[in-house]
Amino acid sequence: MDDLPALPILEAPSRPNSPSPTHIYDLPEELIVEEILNRLGSVDLARIRSVSFTFYDFSTEFRSINLHCNLDSYTNSGRPITPFKIFATDLILRMGGVNSISISVEERANHKSIDIKLDDLHLMEGYID
């Protein structure tokens, strides 16, 4: 090994004729689902079902529900909000094999102006269109 000629180290070559960029569908489904989409909350996952049939299929692979109470969704819209209970029930019915449900809330310590009624996170009550 000591006789090897000097070689480039950590230098990316210029490749003007390089092949087309790697596409998300070039990744194994396992990597897309477990390493990338698994880092999203369930609301994002439900929304990206509308991206394509393939993404719809990805969304059926998950076995856990992660609901995050985003402060902006309450403070910005002023519109009726679907309660978490509806989210969770809908997801359970569509996913089939749910193993866990996790619910979290965005830090609101510095947001004193929030309507006190929001403290229940709309887990059980709320308004549906």
Partner 1 sequence: MASSIENNNEKLTLKSSDGEEFLVEKHVALQSTLLQNMLDSDCSSADVIPLPKIDARTLALVLGYCKKHADASSSKQGELNSFDSEFLKDMDMGALFNLVLAANFMEIKGLLDIAAQKIADTIKDKPHQEVREIFHVENDYTPEEEAAVREENRWAFEGFP
Residues near 43 by Cβ (< 8 Å), separated by ≥ 6? 67, 68, 87
Residues that bind partner 1 (CB under 8 A): 1, 4, 6-13, 15, 18, 21-27, 31, 35-37, 39-41, 43-44, 46-56, 70, 72-73, 76-77, 79, 81-82, 86-87, 90, 94, 129
Residue 113: count of CB within 10 angstroms of its CB: 6
Give the nearest distance from C-beta 97 to partner 1 in angstroms: 18
Which C-beta is closer to partner 1: that of 27 or that of 111?
27
Which C-beta is closer to partner 1: that of 4 or that of 109?
4
Give the nearest distance from C-beta 81 to partner 1 in angstroms: 7
Is 92 within 8 Å of 53 (Cβ atoms)?
A: no
Give the nearest distance from C-beta 106 to partner 1 in angstroms: 12
Helix H, strand E, coil C: the string for 21-41 is CCCHHHCCHHHHHHHHHHHCC
